[in-house]
Amino acid sequence: MTNTPAACCDEAGALPAGREVHPSLVILALAIGGFAIGTTEFASMSLLPEFAPALGIDVPTGGHVISAYALGVVVGAPIIAVLAARIARRTLLVGLMVMFAAGNLLSALAPSYHTMLAFRFFTGLPHGAYFGIAMLLASSLVPRDKRAGASAKVLTGLTVATVVGVPFANIVGQVFGWRWSFGIVAGLALLTAALVRLYAPLGAPIPGASPLRELGALKRGQVWLTLAIGAIGFGGMFSVYTYLASTMLEVTKTSPALIPVALAVFGLGLTIGNLAWAWIADRSGALMASAGATLVWSAVMLALYPAATQNLWTLLPVVFLIGSGGGLATILQTRLMDVAEDAQTLAAALNHSAFNVANALGPWLAGLAIAAGYGLPSTGWVGVALALGGLGVWAVSLVSDRRRVRAVA
The pLDDT tens digits of the residues spanning 37-64 come to: 988 887 887 787 788 888 888 777 777 8
Give me the CATH number covering residue 232. 1.20.1250.20
Residues of the chain with pLDDT under 70: 1-19, 21, 203-217, 341-343, 405-409
DSSP state of 8: -
The DSSP symbol for 163 reads: I
Q: How many domains does the chain have?
A: 1
- Summarised one tens digit per residue, pLDDT across range 328-381 is 888 888 888 778 766 677 777 788 778 878 877 898 899 899 989 999 999 999
Residue 94 within a domain: yes
Half-sphere exposure of 27 (CA within 13 A, CB side): 22
What is the model's pLDDT at position 251? 93
Question: How far, in Å, CA of 231 to CA of 226, rounded?
Answer: 9
Give the whole-angstrom CA distance, residue 87 versus residue 76.
Answer: 16
Answer yes or no: is 80 within a domain. Answer: yes
Structural domain including 40 reads 16-404
Predicted pLDDT at 1: 35
Please check whether residue 230 is in contact with residue 351, taking contact to mean a CB–CB distance below 8 angstroms. Answer: yes
Determine the pLDDT at residue 12: 40
Domain assignment present for residue 1? The answer is no
Rounded CA-CA distance 385/244 in Å is 18
Residue 41 lies in a domain: yes
Is 8 a domain residue?
A: no
Can you tell me the distance from the alpha carbon of 159 to that of 289, in angstroms, rounded to the nearest whole number?
Answer: 23
206 DSSP 8-state letter: P
